[in-house]
C-alpha cells in the first residue's frame, strides 16, 4: 500500500516537473516564436491569400487560381492537384503513425487523445479561416485613418468595425466554444487521463486532421477552378486538355519514379532477375519520359515566357556559381590549413568581400567590367591578345561569342560577370566555414594515414573529403538556396542594354511587383519559386544527404 502512494506521488511530481519544463520552454520560445510567426509564417499564408486575388496596391477581386494559370499555364492547375495529393498522402502517413501509436496505448485513453488532437486540428483551421476573413479589413485600416490624427479611439473603432463584419462574425461564431472544448479535451487527455503515448497521439491526430481538411479544401478549390477554366474554354470553343495532361504528366513522373526504384533494386538482385528488372525499368523510363516530353511542353504552352526564362537563368546562375565557389573556397581552406605563416591574415582578408556592402563593391565591378577599351578587364584581355568585350552590356551568350552551336549557348556574358561578382563575394565565407570543418577532423586520422604511407592527394580524397562532407553538404544547401533567392547582386549590376537576359526568377518577380504593381501575380510566382526551392532542398536532402558521412 505505501509503495503505491509513493508511486502516485512520484508520478505527480514527475508530471509537475514535466509541466513546469514545458511551460518554461514555451516562455523561452515565446518571443522568437511570436516574431517568427509574424515575420516568417504568417506572411507566407498571407502571400498565398494575396496570390488568389487580383491585387494591386490594394485588394481587388478574388480570382482563384488565375494568377497561377497566368504564370504556368495548365501546369498551374496540375501543380495544385499534386499539392492536394501530397497533402492527402501526408495525412495518410500521419494516420498510419496514429494507428500504430494507438495500438500501443490503452484503448479509451488513446481514443480520448485522438479526439483531442483532431479537435485541435479542426480548431486551428477554424481560427485560420476566421483570421483570413478578418485580415483584409484590418489591412485597410491604415488607409482609412490616413490623413487623420491616429488615436486609440479611432483605431479601436475601425478595429471593432472589422471584427463585426458579417463574414468575420459568421466565421468566428463557433470559435470561442470550440476553443473551450479543445482546452477541456486537452486537459483531459494530457493531464487527467494521461498515458505514455498521449502526447504523440495528440500531435499525430492534429497533423492528420489539418492535412486532411486542408488538402480536401485545396482539392475542392482546384477542381472548382479547373471546371471554371474548362467551362470558359468550352464557351469560346477551345479545347483545354487539363485532365488528360494531369493524367499523362503525373503518369510520366510516376513511371520515371518507378523506374528509379526498379534500377535501385536491380543492382542488388540476382543476375536473371536483374536483367528482367532492368528491362522493365527501361521500359517504364522510356514510356514515362515520352509522356513527359509530349505533354509537359503543351501544359506549359500558355505559361509566362518571362517567368520560365527567369527559371532558366536562375538555373544557369546556380550552376555557374555554386560549384566554382565551393571548389575555390575548399582549395583556399585546404591550403590555409597547411602549417603556414600569416594564416590569420589570409583568413581575415578572404572574408572582406563578404562583409562589404553590395552598393560599394558593385561600383568597382561596374568599372572593372565596363565595355570601354580602357576598362581593366578589357586591358587584361588585350595583354592576352583578345579583342575587347562588352561585359556588363553583352546580351550575347558566351557560346555565341565563342562560336559554339546553339545548344551550348550558355548564359549571357553579362550574367557571367554577375556570377564572377557573386562568386567573389562568397568564396571567403565558404573558405572560413571549410576551415572550421577541417579543424573538426581529428588529427590522429592524418597521422594514421601518413604512417600507412598515404600521400597528400590520397589523404585528401579518402580522409579529408569524406569527413568534410557535412560541411560541403551544408554549404551547398545554403549556396543553392541563396542563388535561387539571389536578387541584389543582379539588380545592381543589371544594365538597360542587357535587360531581361540576366533576369532571374526573383528579379522578374520583383519587376512585376515594383514596376507593374501586380502584387497578386507577383505573389503567385513567388510561391512557385518557393515550391521549387523546397523541392530542390528535399531532393538534395534525399539524394545527397545520404552520401554525407557523419563520422
* Interior angle at CA 122, CA 121 and CA 125, nearest 5: 90
Strand partners, 62: 53
The three cell numbers of residue 23 are 511551460
* Near another protein in 99-118, by CB under 8 A: none
State in angstroms the smallest separation of the CB of 271 from another protein: 38
Residue among 59, 87, 117, 288 that touches another protein (CB under 8 A): 59
List C-alpha distances in Å: 260 to 255, 284, 290, 536, 546: 9, 9, 16, 17, 16
Interface with another protein (CB under 8 A), residue total 141
Quick note: the x/- pattern for another protein over 236-275, rule CB under 8 A, is ----------------------------------------
State in angstroms the smallest separation of the CB of 107 from another protein: 22
* Near another protein in 297-326, by CB under 8 A: none
Q: What are phi and psi of 61, to 5 degrees?
A: -75, 155
DSSP H or E segment with residue 297: helix 271-299
Report yes or no: 528 and 512 within 8 Å, Cβ to Cβ. Answer: no
Given the complex with another protein, which of 289 and 482 has the nearer CB atom?
Answer: 482
63-102: string of b/e by CB count within 10 Å (b at 16+)? Answer: bbbbbbbbbbbbbbbbbbbbbbeebbebbeebbebbeebb
The three cell numbers of residue 195 are 498515458
Residue among 336, 398, 413, 418 that touches another protein (CB under 8 A): 336
Q: Is 195 in the site for another protein (CB under 8 A)?
A: no
State in angstroms the smallest separation of the CB of 278 from another protein: 34
Residue among 331, 402, 404, 448 that touches another protein (CB under 8 A): 331
What radius of gyration, in Å, describes the C-alpha atoms of the chain? 29
Residue among 243, 424, 446, 460 that touches another protein (CB under 8 A): 424
Residue among 47, 90, 258, 278 that touches another protein (CB under 8 A): 47
Q: Is 526 in the site for another protein (CB under 8 A)?
A: yes
Given the complex with another protein, which of 240 and 468 has the nearer CB atom?
Answer: 468
Given the complex with another protein, which of 58 and 275 has the nearer CB atom?
Answer: 58
Given the complex with another protein, which of 109 and 501 has the nearer CB atom?
Answer: 501
Residue among 14, 15, 28, 327 that touches another protein (CB under 8 A): 28
Given the complex with another protein, which of 274 and 395 has the nearer CB atom?
Answer: 395
Q: Is 364 in the site for another protein (CB under 8 A)?
A: yes
* SS3 label, residue 59: strand
State in angstroms the smallest separation of the CB of 319 from another protein: 18
Interatomic CA distance for residues 307 and 310, integer angstroms: 5
Quick note: the x/- pattern for another protein over 143-172, rule CB under 8 A, is xxxxxx-xxx-xxx--------xxx--x--
Write the DSSP string, 138-155. Answer: HHTHHHHTTTS---HHHH
State in angstroms the smallest separation of the CB of 31 from another protein: 5
* SS3 label, residue 55: strand
Given the complex with another protein, which of 25 and 276 has the nearer CB atom?
Answer: 25
Residue among 82, 163, 243, 530 that touches another protein (CB under 8 A): 530
Given the complex with another protein, which of 90 and 287 has the nearer CB atom?
Answer: 90
Quick note: the x/- pattern for another protein over 372-411, rule CB under 8 A, is --xxx-------------x-xx-xx---------------
Residue among 439, 448, 461, 462 that touches another protein (CB under 8 A): 439
* Near another protein in 471-500, by CB under 8 A: 471, 473-474, 477, 481, 484-485, 487-488, 495-500
Which of 103-111, 130-138, 226-234, 255-263 is the region at the interface with another protein (rule: CB under 8 A)? 130-138
Given the complex with another protein, which of 236 and 374 has the nearer CB atom?
Answer: 374
State in angstroms the smallest separation of the CB of 490 from another protein: 12
Report yes or no: 307 and 407 within 8 Å, Cβ to Cβ. Answer: no
Place of cell 509566362: 304
The three cell numbers of residue 353 are 568581400
Pairing of strands 59-62, 53-55: antiparallel
Q: Which letter does DSSP use for residue 396 in this model? A: S
Q: Is 11 in the site for another protein (CB under 8 A)?
A: no
Q: Is 437 in the site for another protein (CB under 8 A)?
A: yes
Which region holds residue 454: left if phi is over 0, alpha if psi is between -120 and 50, else beta? beta
* Near another protein in 532-551, by CB under 8 A: 533-534, 537, 545, 548, 550
State in angstroms the smallest separation of the CB of 202 from another protein: 8
Residue among 58, 187, 191, 539 that touches another protein (CB under 8 A): 58
Residue among 3, 5, 272, 338 that touches another protein (CB under 8 A): 338
Which region holds residue 410: left if phi is over 0, alpha if psi is between -120 and 50, else beta? left
Write the DSSP string, 65-88. Answer: THHHHHHHTHHHHHHHHHHHHHHH
Residue among 118, 266, 281, 428 that touches another protein (CB under 8 A): 428
Given the complex with another protein, which of 114 and 522 has the nearer CB atom?
Answer: 522
Q: Is 350 in the site for another protein (CB under 8 A)?
A: yes
List all residues 6 or more positions away from 158 whose beta carbon is below 8 Å from its beta carbon: 141, 144, 145
* Interior angle at CA 412, CA 411 and CA 417, nearest 5: 95
List C-alpha distances in Å: 258 to 88, 187, 263, 283: 20, 46, 9, 10
List C-alpha distances in Å: 335 to 170, 325, 454, 460, 462: 67, 15, 18, 12, 17
Amino acid at each position: 500500500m505505501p509503495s503505491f502512494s509513493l508511486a502516485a506521488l512520484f508520478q505527480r511530481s514527475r508530471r509537475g516537473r514535466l509541466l513546469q519544463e514545458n511551460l518554461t520552454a514555451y516562455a523561452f520560445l515565446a518571443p522568437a516564436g511570436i516574431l517568427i510567426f509574424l515575420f516568417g509564417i504568417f506572411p507566407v499564408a498571407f502571400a498565398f491569400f494575396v496570390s488568389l486575388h487580383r491585387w494591386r496596391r490594394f485588394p481587388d477581386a478574388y480570382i482563384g487560381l488565375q494568377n497561377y494559370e497566368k504564370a504556368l499555364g495548365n501546369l498551374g492547375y496540375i501543380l495544385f492537384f499534386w499539392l492536394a495529393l501530397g497533402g492527402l498522402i501526408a495525412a495518410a502517413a500521419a494516420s498510419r503513425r496514429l494507428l500504430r501509436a494507438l495500438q500501443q496505448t490503452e484503448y479509451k485513453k488513446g481514443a480520448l487523445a485522438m479526439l483531442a488532437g483532431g479537435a485541435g486540428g479542426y480548431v486551428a483551421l477554424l481560427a485560420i479561416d476566421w483570421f483570413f476573413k478578418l485580415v483584409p479589413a484590418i489591412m485597410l485600416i491604415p488607409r482609412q485613418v490616413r490623413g487623420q490624427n491616429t488615436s486609440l479611439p479611432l483605431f479601436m473603432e475601425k478595429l471593432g468595425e472589422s471584427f463585426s463584419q458579417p463574414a468575420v462574425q459568421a466565421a468566428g461564431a463557433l470559435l470561442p466554444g470550440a476553443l473551450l472544448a479543445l482546452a477541456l479535451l486537452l486537459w483531459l487527455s494530457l493531464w487527467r487521463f494521461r498515458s505514455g503515448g498521449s502526447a504523440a497521439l495528440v500531435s499525430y491526430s492534429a497533423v492528420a486532421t489539418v492535412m486532411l481538411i486542408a488538402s480536401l479544401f485545396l482539392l475542392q478549390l482546384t477542381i472548382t477552378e479547373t471546371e471554371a477554366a474548362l467551362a470558359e474554354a468550352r464557351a469560346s470553343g477551345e479545347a483545354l486538355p487539363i485532365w488528360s495532361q494531369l493524367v499523362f504528366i503525373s503518369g510520366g513522373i510516376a513511371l520515371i519514379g518507378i523506374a528509379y526504384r526498379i534500377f535501385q533494386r536491380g543492382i542488388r538482385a540476382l543476375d536473371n532477375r536483374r536483367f528482367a528488372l532492368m528491362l522493365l525499368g527501361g521500359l517504364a523510363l522510356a514510356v514515362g519520359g515520352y509522356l513527359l516530353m509530349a505533354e509537359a511542353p503543351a501544359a506549359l504552352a500558355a505559361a509566362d515566357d518571362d517567368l520560365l526564362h527567369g527559371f532558366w537563368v536562375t538555373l544557369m546562375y546556380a550552376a555557374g556559381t555554386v560549384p566554382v565557389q565551393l571548389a575555390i573556397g575548399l582549395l583556399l581552406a585546404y591550403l590555409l590549413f597547411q602549417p603556414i605563416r600569416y594564416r590569420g591574415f589570409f583568413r581575415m582578408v578572404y572574408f572582406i568581400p563578404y562583409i562589404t556592402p553590395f552598393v560599394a563593391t558593385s561600383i568597382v565591378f561596374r568599372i572593372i567590367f565596363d565595355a570601354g577599351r580602357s576598362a581593366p578587364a578589357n586591358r587584361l584581355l588585350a595583354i592576352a591578345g583578345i579583342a575587347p568585350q562588352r561585359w556588363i552590356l553583352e546580351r550575347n551568350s558566351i557560346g555565341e561569342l565563342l562560336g559554339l552551336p546553339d545548344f551550348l549557348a550558355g548564359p549571357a556574358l553579362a550574367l557571367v560577370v554577375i556570377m564572377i561578382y557573386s562568386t567573389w563575394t562568397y568564396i571567403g565565407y565558404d573558405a572560413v566555414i571549410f576551415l572550421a570543418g577541417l579543424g573538426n577532423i581529428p588529427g590522429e586520422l592524418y597521422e594514421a594515414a601518413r604512417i600507412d604511407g598515404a600521400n597528400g592527394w590520397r589523404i585528401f580524397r579518402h580522409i579529408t573529403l569524406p569527413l568534410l562532407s557535412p560541411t560541403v553538404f551544408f554549404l551547398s544547401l545554403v549556396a543553392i538556396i541563396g542563388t535561387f533567392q539571389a536578387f541584389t547582386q543582379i539588380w545592381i549590376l543589371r544594365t538597360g542594354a542587357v535587360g531581361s537576359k540576366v533576369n532571374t526568377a526573383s528579379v522578374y518577380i520583383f519587376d512585376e511587383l515594383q514596376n507593374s504593381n501586380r502584387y497578386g501575380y507577383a505573389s503567385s510566382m513567388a510561391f512557385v519559386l518557393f515550391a521549387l526551392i523546397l523541392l530542390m532542398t528535399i531532393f538534395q536532402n534525399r539524394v545527397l544527404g545520404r552520401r554525407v558521412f557523419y563520422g
